[in-house]
Amino acid sequence: MKMRKILTLLTAALLMASCAPRTNTGQAVTDTFRDDYNRTVVVPTHPKRVVSTSPAVTEIIFALGADSLLVGRTDFCNYPAEAKKIESIGGISNLSIEKILSLSPDLVISGSMIPQKSADQLAAMGVPMVCVIEKQQFDGLFANILAIGSLIGSSEAAEQLVANLKARVPQVPDLDDSLPTVYYVVGFGSTGNYTAGGNTFINDIIEMAGGRNVAKDVKGWSYSVEALMDSDPDYIMIRREDSATFVRLAPYKRLSAVREGRLIPVESSTVDLQVPRNIEAVETLRQALHPNKN
Q: What ranges do the domains of the chain cover?
A: 2-167, 181-289
Decide whether 2-167 matches 181-289 in CATH topology.
yes
The DSSP H or E segment spanning 159 is: helix 155-168
CATH H superfamily, domain 2-167: Nitrogenase molybdenum iron protein domain (3.40.50.1980)
CB 111 within 8 A of CB 54: yes
At 247-279, the pLDDT tens digits run 999 999 999 999 999 999 999 999 999 999 999
Average pLDDT, integer, range 132-153: 95
Q: What local confidence, expressed as pLDDT, does residue 18 receive?
A: 33
Mean of pLDDT over the chain: 86
CATH class of 181-289: alpha beta
Cβ atoms within 10 Å of 179's Cβ, excluding its own: 18
For residue 160, give the amino acid letter. Answer: Q
CA distances 226 to 79, 223, 252, 279, Å, are 36, 9, 10, 31
Q: What local confidence, expressed as pLDDT, does residue 9 receive?
A: 35
Question: From CA 102, how far away is CA 70, in angstroms rounded?
Answer: 14
Q: What local confidence, expressed as pLDDT, does residue 14 receive?
A: 29
Average pLDDT, integer, range 10-16: 33
Q: Is the pLDDT of residue 12 over 80?
A: no
Q: How many residues does the chain have?
A: 294
CA distances 48 to 68, 69, 74, Å, are 9, 6, 19
Q: Nearest CA to 127 among 165, 153, 95, 171?
A: 95
Percent of the chain with pLDDT over 70: 88
Confidence of residue 294 (pLDDT cuts 50, 70, 90): low
Beta strands in 143-254 (DSSP E): 181-185, 212-213, 235-239
Question: From CA 232, how far away is CA 260, in angstroms rounded?
Answer: 12
